[in-house]
Amino acid sequence: MKVRYSYLGEQFSDCDDLWDDLKKFVASGDFTLGSKLQEFESNFADLIGVKYAIGVGSGTDALKISLKAAGVTAGDEVITSSNTFVATVGAINELGAIPVFVDVKKDSCIDTDLIEYKISEKTRAIIPVHFTGNVCDMDSIMAISKRYNLKVVEDACQAILGKWNGLNAGSIGDLGAFSLHPLKNINIWSDGGLITTNDETYAYQARLLRNHGLVDRDTVLKLGFNSRLDTFQAVVGNWLLPKAEDIAEMRKSNARYLDDGLGGTQQIQLPQRNELSSGVFHIYWVLAENRNALYEYCLERGIEVKIHYPTPIYRQDACKMFSFGEEFPIADYLASNSISFPCDQHLRKEQLDYIIKVVREFYS
Ligand SMILES: *Cc1c(COP(=O)(O)O)cnc(C)c1O
């Protein structure tokens, strides 16, 4: 049996109604910003439970523009996870700010007990990364940010509809950053992203910054970026968004099924799950004894497993200059022991059963 990782072909195999919407859109010529983008932003804000959503060119830009809107400038320090996708660190670096790493816990979320040791005179913001769809302990992070007067930009790129204590990821910090990259849970046909916030000033700044700082076609208030969400892609987003809750629920139910099937195996350890955190399993992963051999074994049997990631970001050559030789043992531990299985909404029950069977077979 084959269990593929990417399901994009399946997701858009039946979308004649979307093509109808796109034809109407193309005929309208309303290609830059425009009404379809506004509609998508408003739908997205409603979905996440915030006042404002601002479409931008990518999740990376959502982070970068959020930081800049929150006042982060060159030389400022921004605290983030030792274990994340490169884009988090790249966005900080693009502003000339300095990423400061903090280790994660065994749930892959930033260890909030370690944050205060890294706060200096120059610290301006924290980016908690809701990595793999697990939502970080936002109560502790918001408490720290208040104590030290820091801004919080949630990296919710992997966590659409993940929740902390009933609140959506991206609705708790000062700003939230989402990605619509084809590999994310809610995706479009190209790059794209969104910024969420409840603060009118941040929303205004983010809107300015994504469009060159133009207030109107003849007035530039401050220099910004060319990073508008493509209006064509907003039409795709409007088509997919009504399915968002179902997609999140199906991923959660697949994850529970895999937890039940794999959890009994002695050599498999399920990640710690904080009871206030409700993850969306953008990535379903477990800790596995003899991980590398299991990885090969699954691939040989048609299961497209992955590792997120074999080298933690702080160890990458491009980022070493920010870790000053410090080691982050839990990030290292996850890199050597975690393995990710497909868990998406298009998997069939036979495929989930097959994953469980192959893993059990490997250890027996
Ligand atoms: C995907 C991702 C991003 C960046 O999103 P893009 O849309 O690819 O720019 C940022 N942070 C995390 C954790 C991500 O997974």
> Strand 77-81 vs strand 98-102: parallel, antiparallel, or unpaired?
parallel
Query: What distance in Å separates the CA atoms of residue 100 and residue 89, rounded to the nearest whole number?
Result: 9
What is the pLDDT, as a whole number, of residue 35? 96
Compute the distance from residue 121 Cα to the ligand 1 centre, in Å: 28
Q: Is the CB of 191 under 6 A from ligand 1?
A: yes
- Residue of 88, 210, 309 to mutate, ligand 1, most atoms within 8 A of C-beta: 88
What is the pLDDT, as a whole number, of residue 275?
85
- pLDDT value, residue 175: 98
- Cβ atoms of 252 and 347 closer than 8 Å: no
Q: Is 58 in the pocket of ligand 1 (CB under 6 A)?
A: yes
85 lines ligand 1 (CB under 6 A): yes
CA angle 359, 345, 305 (to 5 degrees): 35
- Whether 176 is in the pocket of ligand 1, judged by its Cβ within 6 Å, is no
How much is the average pLDDT of 144-166?
Answer: 98
* Cβ count within 10 A of residue 44: 28
Q: Can you tell me which atom of ligand 1 is nearest the CA of 158?
A: 15
Pair of tokens at residue 53: 């959503």
Indicate whether 211 pLDDT > 90. Answer: yes
Tell me the per-residue pLDDT of 46-75, one tens digit each, with 9 for 90 and over.
Answer: 999 999 999 999 999 999 999 999 999 999
The closest-lying atom of ligand 1 relative to the alpha carbon of residue 58 is: 7
272 band by pLDDT with thresholds 50, 70 and 90: confident
Residue 274 has pLDDT above 90, yes or no: no
Q: Name which residue sits closest to atom 7 of ligand 1, judged by CA.
A: 59
Query: CA-to-CA distance for 104 and 137, rounded, in angstroms?
Result: 11
- Residue 259 binned pLDDT confidence (cut-offs 50, 70, 90): very high
> 24-46: per-residue pLDDT in tens?
999 999 999 999 999 999 999 99
Distance 177 CA to ligand 1 centre (A): 9
What was the pLDDT predicted at 273? 80
